[in-house]
Amino acid sequence: MQIINWPSLSDVEQKQVLNRSPLINEGSVETQVSDIISQVIDKGDVALKAFNQQFDQYDTADLRLSDVQIAQACSNVTQNVKAAIAQAMANIETFHQAQTFKPVDVETQAGVRCELRCEAIERVGLYIPGGTAPLISTVMMLALPAKIAGCDKRVLVSPPPINDAIIYAANACGITDIYQVGGAQAIAALAFGTDSIPQVDKIFGPGNRFVTEAKRLVSQDNRISVAIDMPAGPSEVLVIADDQANPQFIAADLLSQAEHGPDSQVMLVTTSAKQADAVNQALATQLEALPRKEIAEQALTCSRSFIVKDLKQAARVSNQYGPEHLIIQSAKPREVLTDIRAAGSVFLGAYTPESVGDYASGTNHVLPTYGYSRNYSSLSLADFSRRFTVQELTPQGLAGLGEAVMTLAENELLDAHKNAVAIRLNELKQSVQ
């Protein structure tokens, strides 16, 4: 990776070197995705089957997997894979069960009761990337929180042919509606519905730039009302390392994200130029053994190493970048953590590779990318529900609060608001006379 001396850069240059991969901003993506969405709206299942043939070279007779197909796929999964899925599911369930909403019910003043309640989103669509890297783990990261939250309709979509382990994990997590369709067309189907695929209220799941763009477009379409979890696009990681960190560990962590796709991006921020050189050497060695070498090499062309003066500056660089994954490999990583403000998920210490969060530690790996960690959070149980407030006033409560409400309404020139209180207070006065 290119090695850059961060303190020597101007403010403008610093912003430039933190730019994401240019592949993410290809101008043609929006046009292509808009056309795909339009075709799905117009032609429904016919368009989905045509896109399966065009993009995945797969002839789909039925978009929905039958019970027989699900059972056959599950029987094909080896016992060691099933055991790994079971262990990951247990940890993910434990962490997300701990996030169960606790209702709020308080009396803000005498006779004024306010509540915060929570209800599950009824219909959710879960997008599972497939292709060259079928993300079995994403099934658990989406399906388990949806189940725990109590979402009634849980629909899963993934590019065909769907990996047997994806189907097994979905079944183990209580998903019965599995559809063979991926890409922007799958997002369009979830948003607008087709004869086969039901329309949902919210769409979850990471994907490539086409999926991310489709999620953005449908969430802004005034013809429907569908929400998305977050802007979750190509993978990225930033590693903060001091001169004591193991360069082999760092290189392995960088490559674990670079292998996702050519539009992935990995960054190293280190206090040591010697460390940056050692990591580059380790990258070159480890690349040769990777089956996805070509993909990782493409990602590395848009990746960089930065030399900073100290770990405080390293934290500032990381916060400016806002990484999806942040790995802190330093002698005292929790001291660095106190300065971190923007990251999707943080991994502390030499023996906490990003891979554990991707699969089985228990945290959720669906995270904001492209700097959105500065204003979006990692996926949690709360994302599968919506909260609403309740208020209830006694006559005495309104009497104690009404004057303040009427004064504020009058100063906002909203007389009807004032009258809604005044009429009630007048009735109260008359009732006691």
Give the pLDDT confidence of 38-69 residue by residue, as tens digits: 999 999 999 999 999 999 999 999 999 999 99
Phi and psi based region of residue 198 (left: phi greater than 0; alpha: psi -120 to 50; beta: remaining): beta
Distance CA 69, CA 423 (A): 65
Evaluate whether 160 touches 60 at the Cβ level (below 8 Å): yes
107 classed as catalytic: no
Query: What average pLDDT does the structure give for the chain?
Result: 95
Active-site option among 96, 236, 259, 325: 325
Task: Provide the CATH topology of domain 2-21+234-362.
Answer: Rossmann fold (3.40.50)
Asked if residue 27 has pLDDT above 70, the reply is: no
Asked if residue 263 has pLDDT above 90, the reply is: no
Triad 22, 25, 27: Cα angle to 5°: 120
Looking at residue 4, what DSSP letter applies? Answer: E
pTM of the model: 0.91
Asked if residue 26 has pLDDT above 70, the reply is: no
Question: What is the architecture, at CATH level 2, of domain 28-232+381-386?
Answer: 3-Layer(aba) Sandwich (3.40)
* Residues forming a β-bridge with 329: 241
Triad 128, 131, 47: Cα angle to 5°: 75
| pLDDT for the residue numbered 23 | 64
Active-site option among 213, 236, 259, 324: 324
Asked if residue 327 has pLDDT above 90, the reply is: yes
Do domains 2-21+234-362 and 28-232+381-386 share one topology? The answer is: yes
Band (331; pLDDT cuts 50, 70, 90): very high
Give the pLDDT confidence of 148-181 residue by residue, as tens digits: 999 999 999 999 999 999 999 999 999 989 999 9
What are the backbone dihedrals phi and psi of residue 138, each rounded to the nearest 5 degrees, phi first?
-65, -30
Asked if residue 370 has pLDDT above 90, the reply is: no
| pLDDT for the residue numbered 305 | 98
Distance CA 260, CA 208 (A): 10
Identity at 321, one-letter amino acid code? Y
**What does the domain layout of the chain look like in residue ranges?**
2-21+234-362, 28-232+381-386, 394-432
| pLDDT for the residue numbered 25 | 59
Measure Cα distances from 220 to 139, 213, 228 in Å.
26, 11, 10
Quickly list DSSP for 97-156: HTT----EEEEEETTEEEEEEEEE-SEEEEE---TTS--HHHHHHHHHHHHHHT-SEEEE
Q: Give me 156's structure tokens.
A: 């899963």
The CATH code of domain 394-432 reads 1.20.5.1300
Give the pLDDT confidence of 91-109 residue by residue, as tens digits: 999 999 999 999 999 999 9
Distance CA 239, CA 352 (A): 12
Give the pLDDT confidence of 396-427 residue by residue, as tens digits: 999 999 999 999 999 999 999 999 999 999 99
Which of helix, strand or coil describes residue 282?
A: helix
236 classed as catalytic: no
Evaluate whether 195 touches 44 at the Cβ level (below 8 Å): yes
Quickly list DSSP for 55-109: HH----S-SBPPHHHHHHHHHHS-HHHHHHHHHHHHHHHHHHHTT----EEEEEE
